[in-house]
Amino acid sequence: MPEDPPERDPELEQEPQPEQEDLEAVESPDEILKRIQRLRESVETRVEESDEIDDRLRTMRAEEETEVRRFVTRVVIMGYGGVVAATILLVFGTNVYLGGAWPEELSTWLRDLLLATVMPIVTLVLGYYFGSASR
């Protein structure tokens, strides 16, 4: 003889009813859409603020690099001017010391020394810094 199915508990067969607090926590689709829109706007605002900060940082870096190039350029040009001034003082001082009898070979040698050593260095340094400005 077939067995009878076990008896079912009537409490288990009923679907659980949510409590009143749970019903209040459930939001309507419109409220969910509004919340998503507010979050999206918040994210867009943060992205815009981040972009503004990035732009300010790029500007500050560019200004800082420009200031460094200006400083180095000034130092190199002032150094070159100092070497030229020292050479001129040396030439005139030696001429005065010798009583006006200045050997022509010495003046040619000093001029060649300035042109051969100082000018390429100045050109190299200035070219490097102005060239790096375009990067």
Q: Output the tens digit of pLDDT for each of the chain's 135 residues.
A: 556 555 655 555 555 555 544 545 667 888 888 889 999 999 999 999 998 998 888 888 888 888 888 888 788 878 878 887 887 788 778 777 777 666 777 778 777 877 777 777 778 777 777 776 665
96 SS3 class? helix
Q: How far apart are CA 48 and CA 112, in angstroms?
A: 60
Q: How far apart are CA 55 and CA 53, in angstroms?
A: 5
Q: For position 40, what pLDDT does the model report?
A: 92
18 SS3 class? coil
Name the pTM for this structure. Answer: 0.46
HSE-up of residue 134 (Cα within 13 Å, Cβ side): 4
Q: For position 13, what pLDDT does the model report?
A: 55
CB 91 within 8 A of CB 46: no
